[in-house]
């Protein structure tokens, strides 16, 4: 029956084809009219995995040593940074500067440990790429947070140079007050109205700082105008005696009473005096001296005319009377000394400085800046 369906010639040709196919680089499996072909891709994958495993085994000692070195560096970073920063405690008293230096040393030690781990693991190229990428990222962040970085660096410079201390009375640009707190971002002042003023440290470092308590001695001044009919030398001596009667005015430096300029109707006398601002208020003392000098001038008959509205006639003014039209009221002659409208103040006037009160107010008030005081 089979010979009728397939002649012998055809069967012979089929056997030759099977022999030819089996000689090809494939695995031939004949199963009930099915043929499975497994190519060399599986063997290639197996060889690749075997190569990776052998490389891992080869690098395993380096990885182990690298991990050990990195752990050692990370563990020693903090104590090593503290040890290296300890000698700086004699050079600077700034806690912020010491903290920044300590953290910088610790960061460098940790990064060195990571680099050694990558080097021992055979990933030097990756380590270089990471370092380069870190530099680029740092540059980008520097531009993005330029103002924050500027304030932080300024705070470091302020802690090193220390142009003021906590409690000093300073004038920074147009602001005057008492230093309450200095943080990594800003400096807090309390002005003499009780207001808290926060000034960025970069503005302070680049601005004009006037420290009013670095030298506790401060000079005050004011101007008093006396008429041209007055004895100006006598007026100066009277002012000197009034100043000398105040125990809170310093003798050294010596107070001065000088003619500052000539006004339209007065000699403008400028009074200079010195006080200790830790004990005496310049404004209160100036007010007291002006009041007592005016009272002394009034007692001495020294005129103090108004520059704009009053004219003094030293020789008097001749009045030509017209025809009498009855009894005119008699006008009494008045001089500057006929009526004393200023009373010399008692010696127990309060001229104490208000700086202590402002410092106490600042201590009791709510702190508007939550950062740590770096001074």
Write down the pLDDT at residue 237: 94
Does residue 223 sit in the same domain as residue 284?
yes
Q: Which residues pair with 175 in a beta bridge?
A: 172
CA atoms within 13 A on the CB side of 24: 12
pLDDT of 173: 86
Q: Which of 125, 154, 176 is the last residue of a domain?
A: 125
pLDDT at 297: 94
pLDDT tens digits along 118-171: 777 777 776 677 666 666 666 776 666 777 888 888 888 888 888 888 888 899
pLDDT value at position 214? 83
pLDDT bracket for residue 26 (50, 70, 90): very low
Q: Are residues 234 and 275 in the same domain?
A: yes
- pLDDT of 30 > 50? The answer is no
Phi, psi values for residue 19, rounded to 5°:
-65, -35
Q: Are residues 241 and 301 in the same domain?
A: yes
- The C-alpha atoms of residue 368 and residue 349 are separated, in whole angstroms, by 36
- Gap between the Cα atoms of 185 and 204, Å rounded: 11
Please report whether residue 372 resides in a domain.
yes
Predicted confidence (pLDDT) at residue 334 exceeds the cutoff of 80 = no
Same domain for 94 and 78 = yes
Contact at 8 Å (CB) between 172 and 199?
yes
Inside any domain, residue 5: no
Question: Is 35 contained in some domain?
Answer: no
The two most distant CA atoms of the chain are separated, in Å, by 180
In percent, the amount of the chain with pLDDT more than 90 equals 18
Integer CA distances (angstroms), 162 to 82, 94, 143, in order: 24, 9, 28
| Predicted pLDDT of residue 317 | 67
Give the model's pLDDT for residue 310: 58
CATH number of 227's domain: 3.30.70.100
Do residues 160 and 110 share a domain?
Answer: no
Q: Is 304 helix (H, G, I), strand (E, B) or coil?
A: coil
Residue 180 contacts residue 366 (beta carbons within 8 Å) = no
pLDDT of residue 80 exceeding 80: yes
* Domain contains 50: no
pLDDT at 308: 60
Query: What pTM did the predictor assign?
Result: 0.57
- Say how many domains are in the chain: 3
For residues 208 and 356, membership in a common domain is answered with yes
pLDDT band at 221 (very low <50, low <70, confident <90, very high): very high
Q: Residue 102 has what pLDDT?
A: 83
Examine residue 154 and state whether it is found in any structural domain, yes or no.
Answer: yes
Both 180 and 160 in a single domain?
Answer: yes
Residues β-bridged to residue 337 = none
Q: What is the DSSP letter of 343?
A: P
Residue 201, domain CATH: 2.30.30.60
pLDDT reading at 337 higher than 50 = no
- What is the extent of the structural domain holding 260? 217-308+339-344
Tokens of 186: 């800003």
Query: Taking 80 as the threshold, does the pLDDT of residue 32 lie above it?
Result: no
Alpha-carbon distance of 159 to 92, in angstroms, equals 9
**Same-domain pairing of 116 and 155:** no
Using CA of residue 294, residue 296, residue 297, residue 301, what is the dihedral sign? positive
Contacts of 294 (CB under 8 A, 6+ apart): 224, 304, 342
266 class by beta-carbon count within 10 Å (0-12 exposed, 13-18 middle, 19+ buried): buried
In a domain, 130, yes or no: no
| Centroid of chain to Cα 70 | 37
- 2 within a domain of the structure (yes/no): no
Give the residue among 250, 242, 349 at the shortest CA–CA distance from 294: 242
134/131 Cα distance (integer angstroms): 5
| Residue of higher predicted confidence among 21 and 302 | 302
Indicate whether 238 and 208 sit together in one domain: no
Helix, coil or strand: residue 169: strand
Token readout for 112 is: 């060195």
Q: What percent of the chain lies above the pLDDT cut of 70?
A: 66
What are 226-268's pLDDT values in tens digits?
999 899 999 999 999 999 999 899 998 999 999 999 988 889 9
Q: How far apart are CA 264 and CA 244, in angstroms?
A: 30
pLDDT of residue 23: 56
Q: Do 304 and 225 sit in the same domain of this protein? A: yes
Is the pLDDT reported for residue 111 higher than 80?
yes
Look at residue 151 and tell me if it is in a domain: yes
Instruction: Please list, in sequence order, all residues whose beta carbon lies within 8 angstroms of the beta carbon of residue 164, skipping any fewer than 6 positions away.
Output: 170, 179, 209, 211, 214
Tokens found for residue 84: 């290296």
């Amino acid at each position: 029956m089979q010979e009728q369906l397939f002649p012998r010639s055809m069967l012979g040709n089929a056997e030759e084809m099977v022999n030819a196919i089996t000689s090809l680089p494939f695995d031939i499996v004949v199963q009930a009219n099915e043929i499975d072909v497994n190519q060399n891709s599986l063997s290639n994958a197996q060889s690749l995995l075997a190569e990776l495993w052998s490389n891992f085994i080869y690098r395993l000692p380096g990885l182990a040593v690298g991990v050990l070195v990195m752990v050692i560096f990370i563990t020693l970073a903090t104590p090593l940074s503290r040890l290296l920063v300890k000698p700086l405690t004699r050079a600077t008293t700034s806690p912020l500067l010491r903290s920044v230096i300590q953290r910088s040393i610790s960061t460098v030690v940790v990064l060195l440990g990571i680099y050694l781990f990558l080097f021992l693991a055979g990933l030097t190229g990756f380590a270089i790429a990471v370092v380069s990428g870190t530099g680029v990222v740092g540059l980008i962040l520097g531009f993005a947070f330029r103002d924050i970085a500027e304030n932080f660096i300024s705070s470091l410079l302020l802690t090193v140079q220390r142009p003021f201390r906590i409690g000093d009375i300073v004038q920074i640009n147009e602001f005057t007050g008492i230093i309450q707190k200095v943080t990594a971002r800003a400096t807090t002042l309390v002005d003499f109205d009780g207001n808290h003023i926060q000034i960025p440290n970069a503005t302070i470092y680049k601005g004009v700082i006037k420290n009013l308590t670095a030298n506790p001695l401060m000079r005050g001044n004011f101007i008093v105008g006396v008429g041209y009919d007055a004895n100006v030398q006598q007026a100066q001596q009277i002012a000197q005696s009034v100043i000398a009667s105040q125990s809170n005015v310093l003798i050294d430096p010596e107070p001065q009473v000088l003619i500052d300029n000539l006004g339209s109707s007065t000699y403008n006398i400028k009074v200079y005096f010195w006080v200790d601002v830790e004990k005496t208020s310049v404004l209160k003392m100036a007010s007291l001296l002006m009041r007592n000098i005016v009272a002394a001038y009034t007692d001495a008959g020294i005129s103090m005319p108004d520059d704009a509205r009053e004219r003094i006639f030293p020789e008097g003014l001749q009045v030509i009377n017209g025809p009498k039209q009855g009894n005119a009221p008699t006008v009494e002659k008045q001089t500057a000394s006929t009526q004393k409208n200023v009373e010399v103040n008692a010696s127990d006037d309060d001229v104490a400085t208000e700086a202590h009160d402002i410092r106490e107010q600042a201590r009791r008030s709510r702190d508007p800046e939550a950062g740590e005081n770096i001074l």
